[in-house]
């Protein structure tokens, strides 16, 4: 087919374009995260956007994320693959494949895809930053990981974040607890919503996550996981709490916190932003997992991690009026009043000297070019007019000191600007 479409193309539902200045804010956010994680000894891991479908199937057989929301398809060679709905599974798959020295402490940033019903704070393509640590079974590591996320929110300036904490116990504890919850829900099935009944068949613990009003009373009466913890799991949890207390990180024990994916054990946690609407206020979450490395073909290995939702964190920053987009800080903007080679060569001279420089193409009046210079955020406007050109000079106007200006010879220009920047 040729010719223009009837309607201009638009991005797909739930997928967004991010333009400046929001794009630089995102980049800055990832930079802050890299700094916080880097200073705690975490190294970046870059993972593929797609994995063998089996990688995700293995880790979340009974979850909505994997059974209903995944973008999966058959590749040209017949392999069933999926766009990643989260990054833990890929990170552990990478661990199993490369077997790096333990402990393996990594951070990541990237897009994930879930075919959800789009609304504010819930998108089909969304970004996460996160960490994973493999090979350490120590409650102090749980404290390190939880504190790292906390420190990151603090560093962005967010003050209305709450940490919710729970322990799901060991695998066997979880199995016993799941059975107790299943029995409880079954006994009161007449009171539950349709959706909860459906979830009950597949994954009873997930019903505890239901936000539907009909389900609330039944959920409130459900057995508590704390009553099903083994001695070891209870001791581990006590040490995590003591660590957080000692660091002065406030938390609430939330015994309904079961998290979406199947693989969690012992510590689970979530960060909630009170500045956001309750329906979409989870800005991050994570926990300990086991069996994940084994399920993906590796040796039994302890793991813990979290993923934080970049899109929602930025909404929370808006709501708390913190972490604005960094200001564009161009060094110079070339205003070309003569046309021809002079402005071109001057711009490149500046860039070659390591300065940031932009220019207007196609001329225009002095007034409109000065407007562009202002908009660019440049410190100096470098004006090239006929007078200047005749004597090989440039007019340097300081845009941040009320328009003070001076004439400088081209040969001295770089040195001159350097002393003023
Ligand atoms: P989860 O793996 O579902 O716990 O996701 C971790 C974090 O990613 C959540 O706390 C959210 O902040 C964010 N997140 C998850 N799904 C979405 C989505 N569809 N749109 C935007 N953010 C999301």
- Ligand 1 pocket test: pick from 119, 307, 314, 316 the residue with the most ligand atoms within 8 Å of its Cβ: 307
Q: Does some domain include residue 339?
A: yes
Pair 281, 367 in one domain: no
Q: Does some domain include residue 218?
A: no
Last residue of a domain, one of 294, 320, 346: 320
Quote the domain boundaries for residue 342.
332-420
Question: Is 114 a pocket residue for ligand 1 (Cβ < 6 Å)?
Answer: yes
Ligand 1 atom with minimal separation from the 122 CA: 20
Measuring from atom 11 of ligand 1, which residue has the nearest CA? 309
Predicted confidence pLDDT, tens digits, the chain (421 residues): 678 899 999 999 999 999 999 999 999 999 999 999 999 999 999 999 999 999 998 877 767 788 889 999 999 999 999 999 999 999 999 999 999 999 999 999 999 999 999 999 999 999 999 999 999 999 999 999 999 999 999 999 999 999 999 998 988 888 888 899 999 999 999 999 998 998 888 888 888 878 788 888 999 899 988 888 999 999 999 999 999 999 999 999 998 777 656 678 899 999 999 999 988 999 999 999 978 999 999 999 999 999 999 999 999 999 999 999 998 789 999 999 998 899 999 999 999 999 999 998 988 999 999 999 999 999 999 999 999 999 999 999 999 888 899 999 999 999 999 998 8
| Alpha carbons 358 and 349: distance in angstroms, whole number | 12
Q: Does some domain include residue 15?
A: no
Q: Does some domain include residue 337?
A: yes
Ligand 1 atom with minimal separation from the 306 CA: 6
Pair 245, 375 in one domain: no
Give me the pLDDT at residue 82, please: 97
Give me the pLDDT at residue 62, please: 66
Pair 34, 79 in one domain: yes
Q: Does some domain include residue 192?
A: no
Residue 49 Cα, ligand 1 centroid: separation in angstroms? 16
Measuring from atom 3 of ligand 1, which residue has the nearest CA? 260
Pair 340, 309 in one domain: no
Pair 77, 99 in one domain: yes
CB-based contacts of 252: which residues, under 8 Å, 6+ apart? Answer: 162, 163, 164, 165
Pair 81, 165 in one domain: yes
Residue 329 Cα, ligand 1 centroid: separation in angstroms? 33
Pair 314, 348 in one domain: no
Q: What is the domain-level CATH number for residue 399?
A: 3.40.50.800
Measuring from atom 18 of ligand 1, which residue has the nearest CA? 122
Pair 142, 28 in one domain: yes
Ligand 1 atom with minimal separation from the 128 CA: 8
Pair 105, 243 in one domain: yes
Question: Is 165 a pocket residue for ligand 1 (Cβ < 6 Å)?
Answer: no
Measuring from atom 15 of ligand 1, which residue has the nearest CA? 309
Residue 114 Cα, ligand 1 centroid: separation in angstroms? 9
Measuring from atom 21 of ligand 1, which residue has the nearest CA? 122
Give me the pLDDT at residue 23, please: 97
Residue 255 Cα, ligand 1 centroid: separation in angstroms? 20
Measuring from atom 10 of ligand 1, which residue has the nearest CA? 284
| Alpha carbons 378 and 279: distance in angstroms, whole number | 42
Question: Is 302 a pocket residue for ligand 1 (Cβ < 6 Å)?
Answer: no
Pair 337, 397 in one domain: yes
| Alpha carbons 203 and 64: distance in angstroms, whole number | 10
Task: Judge contact between 84 and 56, C-beta under 8 A.
Answer: yes
Q: Does some domain include residue 310?
A: yes
Domains of the chain: total: 2
Q: Does some domain include residue 10?
A: no
Last residue of a domain, one of 290, 320, 350: 320
Angle between helices 139-156 and 22-38 (to 10 degrees): 150
Pair 69, 121 in one domain: yes
Residue 343 Cα, ligand 1 centroid: separation in angstroms? 48
Q: What is the domain-level CATH number for residue 135?
A: 3.30.930.10
Give me the pLDDT at residue 59, please: 79
Last residue of a domain, one of 320, 340, 355: 320
Q: Does some domain include residue 241?
A: yes
Question: Is 206 a pocket residue for ligand 1 (Cβ < 6 Å)?
Answer: no
Measuring from atom 17 of ligand 1, which residue has the nearest CA? 122
| Alpha carbons 75 and 81: distance in angstroms, whole number | 7
Please give the structure tokens belonging to residue 128. Answer: 């996460």
Residue 315 Cα, ligand 1 centroid: separation in angstroms? 13
Pair 347, 236 in one domain: no
Give me the pLDDT at residue 388, please: 94
Give me the pLDDT at residue 66, please: 82
């Amino acid at each position: 087919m040729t010719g223009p479409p009837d309607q201009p193309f638009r991005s797909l539902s739930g997928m967004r374009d991010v333009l400046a200045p929001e794009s630089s804010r995102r980049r800055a956010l990832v930079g802050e995260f890299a700094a916080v994680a880097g200073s705690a000894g975490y190294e970046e891991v870059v993972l593929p956007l797609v994995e063998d479908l089996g990688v995700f199937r293995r880790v979340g057989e009974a979850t909505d994320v994997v059974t209903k929301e995944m973008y999966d398809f058959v590749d040209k060679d017949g392999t069933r693959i999926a766009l990643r709905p989260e990054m833990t599974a890929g990170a552990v798959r990478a661990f199993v494949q490369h077997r790096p020295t333990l402990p393996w402490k990594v951070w990541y940033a990237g897009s994930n895809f879930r075919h959800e019903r789009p609304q504010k704070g819930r998108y089909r393509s969304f970004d996460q930053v996160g960490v994973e640590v493999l090979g350490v079974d120590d409650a102090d590591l749980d404290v390190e990981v939880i504190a790292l996320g906390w420190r990151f929110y603090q560093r962005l300036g967010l003050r209305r974040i709450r940490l919710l904490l729970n322990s799901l116990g060991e695998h066997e504890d979880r199995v016993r607890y799941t059975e107790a919850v299943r029995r409880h829900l079954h006994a009161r099935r007449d009171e539950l919503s349709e959706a909860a009944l459906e979830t009950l068949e597949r994954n009873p613990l997930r019903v505890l996550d239901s936000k539907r009003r009909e389900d609330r009373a039944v959920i409130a009466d459900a057995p508590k996981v704390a009553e099903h913890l083994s001695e070891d799991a209870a001791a581990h949890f006590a040490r995590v709490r003591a660590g957080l207390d000692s660091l002065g990180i406030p938390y609430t024990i939330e015994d309904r916190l079961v998290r979406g994916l199947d693989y969690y054990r012992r510590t689970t946690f979530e960060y909630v932003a009170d500045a956001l609407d309750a329906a979409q206020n989870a800005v991050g979450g994570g926990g300990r997992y086991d069996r994940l490395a084994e399920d993906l073909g590796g040796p039994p290995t302890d793991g813990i991690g979290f993923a934080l939702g970049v899109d929602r964190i930025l909404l929370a920053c808006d709501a708390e009026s913190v972490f604005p987009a960094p200001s564009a800080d161009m060094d110079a903007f070339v205003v070309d009043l003569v046309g021809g080679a002079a402005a071109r060569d001057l711009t490149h001279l500046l860039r070659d000297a390591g300065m940031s420089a932009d220019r207007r193409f196609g001329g225009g009046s002095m007034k409109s070019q000065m407007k562009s210079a202002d908009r660019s955020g440049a410190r100096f406007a470098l004006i090239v007019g006929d007078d200047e050109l005749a004597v090989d000079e440039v007019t340097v106007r300081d845009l941040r000191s009320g328009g003070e200006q001076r004439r400088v010879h081209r040969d001295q220009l770089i040195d001159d600007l350097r002393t003023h920047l």
